[in-house]
Structure 1
Amino acid sequence: MSGWKLGIIGGSGLYALDGLEDRREHTVETPWGPPSDALVSGRIGEVELVFLPRHGKGHRLTPTDVPYRANIAALKMAGVTDVLSISACGSLQEQYAPGEVVAADQFIDRTVSREKTFFGAGLVGHVSMAEPVCARLSALAANAMEAVGGKVHRGGTYLAMEGPQFSSLAESRLYRQWGCDVIGMTNMPEAKLAREAELPYATLAMVTDYDCWRADTDAVTVTNVLEIMAQNTALARRAILQLAHSLNGTPRTLSPQGIETCLDFALITAPDLRDPVMIDKLRAIAGRALGV
């Protein structure tokens, strides 16, 4: 096998993945509870994939209710080496049109009601989020998207809002002034947790609308994005298959950013003061760094 085991987190509209050989479905229980849904595993050639619908099949979970910690932990426990997020988003800039894709490389986290770390009292960790996306994985995903006909913008800032309501006009204008490129509800704390789990993470943000800042465009509603979302979902499925095919015969090497060993520089609690209960809980995502 190639050594790649891709975790695919499917966002709005992407609740299943086609084309998998040796397909199997299995439920997982993590120290942070169950993930959004059962994991679906399989392979495309020699590349293994594990798919998880972020909102559950049928879109049962709000952005706030998504069990982000359990989702990332479940993928880590399944042996995933890299995580690709597919998510719907709104455009905050004229040049990002509905139907296009932004391979975001920065985030602004405006969520307020979510558990954002695996660590806590008894074992404190501070990971760097200066470069929140794996540059290599992001480039590979963007290449795959372009190969199947998608228009990709490489790089961009994704603002994560709490939701589930869409932005007010004042908020939308403010985020544009901040220089944000797209807005969504789900990539945070997902990216932070992936980093804590030492998993290279990248996102393909699929634009469905212009939020509400554009004077000559109707404000975003669920009904007026469904058609674009369906097109985006079909494109995402093709891109995932293309990505897997492109990795066949390409042995996986470590992320050039050192993501797989980032906890070596993040754990601050003195070893003799670390809570054994926390150590046992964290072995699922940080066993390498903790030596357990």
Structure 2
Amino acid sequence: MAASVIGVIGGSGLYDLPGLVDATWTRVDSPWGTPSDELLIGTIGGNKLVFLPRHGRGHRIPPSEIDYRANIDALKRAGVTDLVSISAVGSYREDLAPGTFVLIDQFVDRTVARASSFFGTGCVGHVGFGHPVSPGLMDRLKVAALAEDIDVRRGGTYVCMEGPQFSTLAESLWYKSAGFDVIGMTNMPEAKLAREAELPYATVAMVTDYDCWHPSEDHVDVASVIKVVYDNADKARRLIARFAHDFPAEHPPCPIGSDRALDHALMTAHDKRDPALLAKLDAVAGRVLNKVRP
């Protein structure tokens, strides 16, 4: 079994994780483009942790311009085996009030302008995505939250919009009527690409607002969102630090096989594969590229 390397994608409030030692910012290049930033690599409780600021330090990059492929590829090249996303979201449920943490287990992708796959002409791949989140990671995050006396709800559907504008009232009412739980701008195609890279993935969604459907709440504004994010930063840091500290030293197999998602995913015959694309896929799909398809 491989040693566990915990990847975390999140915002500025997570730079200073309790117990993170020997941390250094390290540049990792990717053939897919430019990652959002350097990777902060250190250890917690003997486990290696790799942190990537999703929007770059100083929040430089808007959701639609994040190079999600470069980010996931860089994390894979850094040896990450399990990936946790920390994301701010709006809520469509009265009981998921601002300040609540939600462990997402489903996604609805409403983005339109983002590259959503590592595969393409010259190497076609199809991964299963019916269950996009690793239940093993969700279980461990829930245990870590309980240990830190943090209220985390397990389960919920995250609808990902393109942004960068917030929803119209009509959109907000539509998504609420569809039964979605929260809305954000960043977890797609991040979760899809993590699956293609065979990285078990989980999202901790931090509710910052009620979008604009709530009759007693005004429309969303950046100032109120930032205030809730910073109010919850300490809880997020403690949650991730505890999760990383207690994580097994050896990567535990994903209960739904996320870490072997490419076992039967590649469709293109060996003699029809594009060498240039294969070269770019060395980190993401290197485990299976040399297998002969029956």
Matched, 1:269 2:271: no
Query: Which residues in structure 2 correspond to 1:219-230 (within 5 Å)?
Result: 219-230=219-230
* Matched letter for residue 86 of structure 2: I
Q: Distance in 2 between matches of 1:37 and 1:173?
A: 36
Structure 1, 256-265 or 88-97: larger mean CA deviation: 256-265
Q: Distance in 1 between matches of 2:80 and 2:40?
A: 12
Deviations 1:111-134 (A, max 9, x none): 000010011111011111100000
SS in 1 for 2:64: coil
**Aligned 8 A contact 2:212 2:218 in 1:** yes
Deviations 1:195-219 (A, max 9, x none): 0000000000000010000011111
* Matched letter for residue 95 of structure 1: D
Query: Which residues in structure 2 correspond to 1:145-160 (within 5 Å)?
Result: 145-160=145-160
Per the alignment, residue 235 of structure 1 pairs with: 235
Per the alignment, residue 139 of structure 2 pairs with: 139
Per the alignment, residue 259 of structure 2 pairs with: 260
**Aligned 8 A contact 1:15 1:56 in 2:** no
Query: Which residues in structure 2 correspond to 1:159-178 (within 5 Å)?
Result: 159-178=159-178
| Cα drift, residue 46 of structure 1 | 1.4
| Cα drift, residue 146 of structure 1 | 3.0
Per the alignment, residue 54 of structure 2 pairs with: 54
* Matched letter for residue 290 of structure 2: G
| Cα drift, residue 145 of structure 1 | 2.3
Q: Distance in 2 between matches of 1:61 and 1:15?
A: 17
In structure 1, stretches of 5+ residues that fail to align are none
In structure 2, do the counterparts of structure 1 residues 15 and 243 end up closer, same or farther at CA, with 3 Å as the change threshold? Answer: closer
Structure 1, 224-233 or 213-222: larger mean CA deviation: 224-233
Query: Which residues in structure 2 correspond to 1:104-143 (within 5 Å)?
Result: 104-143=104-143
In structure 2, do the counterparts of structure 1 residues 291 and 14 end up closer, same or farther at CA, with 3 Å as the change threshold? Answer: farther
Q: Distance in 1 between matches of 2:2 and 2:109?
A: 34
**Aligned 8 A contact 2:14 2:233 in 1:** no
Per the alignment, residue 20 of structure 1 pairs with: 20
In structure 2, do the counterparts of structure 1 residues 15 and 62 end up closer, same or farther at CA, with 3 Å as the change threshold? Answer: farther
**Aligned 8 A contact 1:4 1:48 in 2:** yes
Q: Normalising by structure 1, what TM-score?
A: 0.96
Query: Which residues in structure 2 correspond to 1:202-213 (within 5 Å)?
Result: 202-213=202-213
In structure 2, do the counterparts of structure 1 residues 135 and 99 end up closer, same or farther at CA, with 3 Å as the change threshold? Answer: same
| Cα drift, residue 2 of structure 1 | 8.5
Q: Distance in 1 between matches of 2:36 and 2:121?
A: 26
**Aligned 8 A contact 1:90 1:207 in 2:** yes
Q: What value does the CA root-mean-square deviation take over the aligned residues?
A: 1.5
Q: Distance in 1 between matches of 2:117 and 2:233?
A: 30
**Aligned 8 A contact 2:114 2:189 in 1:** yes
Q: Distance in 2 between matches of 1:163 and 1:150?
A: 30
**Aligned 8 A contact 2:5 2:49 in 1:** yes
Structure 1, 138-147 or 235-244: larger mean CA deviation: 138-147
Per the alignment, residue 187 of structure 1 pairs with: 187
Deviations 1:23-78 (A, max 9, x none): 12111110112210000101012111000000000100000011100000000000
SS in 2 for 1:108: strand
* Matched letter for residue 28 of structure 1: V
Q: Distance in 1 between matches of 2:29 and 2:72?
A: 12
**Aligned 8 A contact 2:14 2:236 in 1:** no
Provide the identity percentage. 54
Query: Which residues in structure 2 correspond to 1:43-122 (within 5 Å)?
Result: 43-122=43-122
**Aligned 8 A contact 1:17 1:51 in 2:** no
* Matched letter for residue 16 of structure 2: L
Q: Distance in 2 between matches of 1:108 and 1:233?
A: 26
Structure 1, 217-226 or 174-183: larger mean CA deviation: 217-226
